[in-house]
Structure formats: C-alpha cells, structure tokens
Amino acid sequence: MDLQVVEQVARLDEWVAEGGVAVLSGAGLSTDSGIPDYRGPSGSARRTQPMTYQTFTGDPIARRRYWARSHLGWRTIGAARPNDGHRAVARLQEQGLLAGVVTQNVDGLHQAAGARDVIELHGNLARVVCLGCGELSGRAELEDRLTAANPGFAAVATTVNPDGDVELDDAEVAGFTVVDCLSCGGLLKPDVVYFGETVPPDRVSRAFGLVASARTLLVLGSSLTVMSGRRFVLRAARDGIRVAIVNRGVTRGEPYADLVVDAPLGIVLPHLAKPIPVPEPGTH
C-alpha cells in the first residue's frame, strides 16, 4: 500500500476500534472468492439484460433461458468459499465492533464465514421459492432435479455474473427442461430480488435501523450505482453518521463519504480485524 492508503487505513482503524460499525457490502467483496463483480476491476461488460420479475413470470421462453443459464452459474456461486475479507468482517463482529451487516450480495458468503444476523437485501441464491404456494426449498435439491431433467445439457459457461446468471447463446438453451414446485406445481424462482421487484419493506426498515444506530457506515466493495445500496449512504450522511468506503475504483458514494480507500479489500480488512491477544498463562 502507498503512503496515502496507509494513512487512510490507520484513520479507518481508529474509527472501527470505536465500535458501532454498520457494514454495507457489495459484489466487490466477493471477487477474491472467484465471483466477478459488475463494474469493478475484475468485472466484465454484461451483454445480457438482467432478468426482470415481469419477464420471468410472463415469458416461458425467457424463464427457460434463465434457468439454463442459472443452472450453469450455480456451479460457480455454489462452490465459492469465503475470502479474507468475509472472514475479517466476521471477526470484527465476533470482537463486538459491528452494529451489524447489510449485504447486497446473494452468495451467502458472509454467513459461511461466520457472520450472524446478516440482512440480505436482495435475498440468497441458495434458496428457492415457489410463486404459487410460497414454499422455500434448498438450491441443491433443485439442482439435482434440473440435472436429472436435462441429462444431455452440455453447455459451458464463460462469463458468470454476481447474480449467478451466465452468458449463453440461445441455441445452447433450446430444449432445456424447467421443473416446477413438487408441492403445488407452481413456478419456482430463486429467492432473490429481481429487477422490477422491490426489496421487502421490513428488510429495508431493518437496514435503515441498523444504519441509524451506527457510529460509522462502512461500505465494502460497492460502486453504489443503484439506489438500493446508495440510499443508506445518503441517510447516514444526512444524519451525520460517518461514512467510510473501501472499494476498487470510483463509487457514487464519494460525495457523501468522510473517507474513501481505493485499495484491495483482502488487504485492508484483515488489517482492521486484528486477532485478539491471548494472555500468557499466569498473567492478568
């Protein structure tokens, strides 16, 4: 790290040591786990449009295309493991320095690293919901069913997006078989918020409450391009709560931030979450 970043991290270290930190994380936190982000240095330009709720429910062909692509993408998302950044956040929580964690990610890696009571703004790809009866089930079960229903499906994913979608030509998804709810025959959907859906109000309310109770809002790996995450930065700035951002590249939260650190999260976060010293036997 250059001298400016070292000084910035030292300042951030002081803020974190005071406790009461609310974490807001984005896709940039998961890039070291092999999940590309949308807009950061490891991201790639997305050619396909994100799936909308209206298209998913109203267009059987688009729904088939989505499930074929997502079936491949899950191999990357489901196999991903927490990185040093996720583990550092969990350690900060264990040390009692966090007010809580809000994530825009749908990969479940905060929890896999040991974080508790994570507010998942956009849901979690590891869960599947039936739009007919509301039953929740595990993604692993659905993947087994999709594999059994599509024994000849041999497409290979090239680009995987943070939402588990991949890039595939239409010819490669022709004939893909979609499965429905075992309980009622209804449409199955990943338990995530699509474009065109709104984040459940109670989830948003909990996140705003967390920010309101914090001394510092610490944004990790988010460009804050969409209002879903940026609104918490705006609220913190309005209420006089310190805003610190650690991200690679420009973010739309910079005008509202008290501190912006442009550096790899996998280096900055472990520095903040230093191990708690263990007293030597016989010392007090």
The DSSP annotation for 5-65 comes to HHHHHHHHHHHHHT--EEEEE-GGGGGGGT---SSSTT-----SPPPBHHHHHH-HHHHHH
- For the chain, helix, strand, coil in percent to 5 are 40, 15, 45
Instruction: Provide the pLDDT for residue 21.
Output: 98
Residues comprising the binding site for Zn(2+)?
130, 133, 181, 184
Instruction: Provide the pLDDT for residue 44.
Output: 47
3-class secondary structure, 188: strand
Instruction: Provide the pLDDT for residue 143.
Output: 96
Instruction: Provide the pLDDT for residue 46.
Output: 45
Instruction: Provide the pLDDT for residue 39.
Output: 53
pLDDT along the chain (284 residues), means of 10: 90 97 97 79 52 94 93 91 97 97 97 98 97 97 96 79 77 90 97 91 98 98 94 98 96 97 95 66 54
**Residue 125: burial class (beta carbons within 10 Å; 0-12, 13-18, 19+):** buried
Exposure string of 181-193, with b = 16+ CB inside 10 Å and e = fewer, is beeeebbbbbbbb
Instruction: Provide the pLDDT for residue 284.
Output: 47
- The torsion of the CA quartet 105, 248, 275, 78, rounded to 10 degrees, works out to 30
Q: Which residues are catalytic?
A: 122
Instruction: Provide the pLDDT for residue 282.
Output: 58
Instruction: Provide the pLDDT for residue 216.
Output: 98
What is the set of domains in the chain, with CATH numbers? 3-199+227-272 (3.40.50.1220)
